[in-house]
Structure 1
């Protein structure tokens, strides 16, 4: 079974950002042949630890486990509210903490929420370049949800969510499993160890 990490950078509770993240996760898990174990990371719960990690260079405690969840997952859904025409500072700071090589090749689905549809391009001009820098594999369909999208079936939000989830599932299933080195595959002969060579 695949593992799917979900990052929600919403600041409120309840949060439309978390609602979108959960719907994207459900669509992705439903499109995977064997489903997925979904683990959600609420960045607001780690806000202080994220700042500490930017100062020290090392994530610690529960935040370290959150980082390992994201970097170790087979796929990632990253959703942020749009503030001042771009992703939130908390969202950006989380990715600043990650080791640049830790995300290479990871399939990623991007989502964003905002008050009006005027900010819908933030996914393409702000979020995509950030994830491209980390050398991830971002799906073509990003999902933006404005306030009006939640109250009407005519906005096409469910269709966009389903399409993006299917795209992420396809990338996750096509990605080769990472090679795991076995440290015991070629052991040093005991005689050589005794001889000190």
Structure 2
């Protein structure tokens, strides 16, 4: 029996790592799950396993994000859980990073997060609900790890504005969850902590 008081979840920036683990858990709890990514082919296994629905979308394109939410609304119902997990990592020492690469990274991790929070808030405020924004930094990803963590800032800002409506935003830090992808990026192939939900 489902224990979460929600019906539909949308994960933006879905892939085979952290977001797949979250999708499994949400599906187990009885939620209808929508997975959004630029390349939906990589979602085939998790879609088959969980019954989730895949949507192709560019998280940095305002029109594409708006169309994504409308498509989810029509096929699964308005999402009352939204997780933003899209990221673009720029590895290397801070002093040596390519400014244009950092700009593109922030476009994905910051501006894209704002677009998702905005669309989610437009649907959730009337319901007294709030989006959940996640950020999954990786070792040696200076552009992602440098302050301010924009998805976090977006969720905090959204929560502040929605507080009078009785709704709140939360950020889930996934940087210490063990996944096969994270293990490849840590010396020795080991991550600091493990999670029973991360496969």
TM-score, structure 2 as length reference: 0.50
* TM-superposed deviation, 1:154: 3.4
Q: 1:137 to 1:127 in 2, by over 3 A?
A: same
Q: Are the aligned partners of 1:81 and 1:114 in contact in 2 as well (CA < 8 Å)?
A: no
Structure 2: segments with no counterpart, 5+ residues = 40-55, 90-101, 160-167
Q: 1:94 to 1:147 in 2, by over 3 A?
A: farther
Partner of 1:195: none
1:133 aligns with 2:157: yes
Max radius of gyration: which structure? 1
What per-residue deviation string (whole Å, max 9, x for no partner) do you get for residues 33-81 of structure 1? xx32222122562339944469xxxx45x66213667982232222021
Among 30, 37, 48, the alignment partner of 1:42 is 37
Partner of 1:116: 140
Partner of 2:10: 6
How many residue pairs match? The answer is 147
1:21 aligns with 2:19: yes
Q: 1:23 to 1:138 in 2, by over 3 A?
A: same
1:94 aligns with 2:115: yes
* TM-superposed deviation, 1:22: 1.1
Q: Are the aligned partners of 2:38 and 2:57 in contact in 1 as well (CA < 8 Å)?
A: yes
* TM-superposed deviation, 1:156: 4.1
Tell me the C-alpha RMSD between the 2 structures: 4.4
Structure 1: segments with no counterpart, 5+ residues = 11-16, 164-197
Query: 1:164-183 alignment to 2 at 5 Å?
Result: none
Distance 1:49 1:118 in 2: 20
SS in 2 for 1:38: strand
Q: 1:21 to 1:106 in 2, by over 3 A?
A: same
TM-score, structure 1 as length reference: 0.50
Among 77, 80, 85, the alignment partner of 1:79 is 85
* TM-superposed deviation, 1:131: 1.7
Partner of 2:190: 154
SS in 1 for 2:87: strand
* TM-superposed deviation, 1:127: 1.1
More strand by share: 1
Q: 1:95 to 1:38 in 2, by over 3 A?
A: closer
Distance 1:22 1:112 in 2: 13
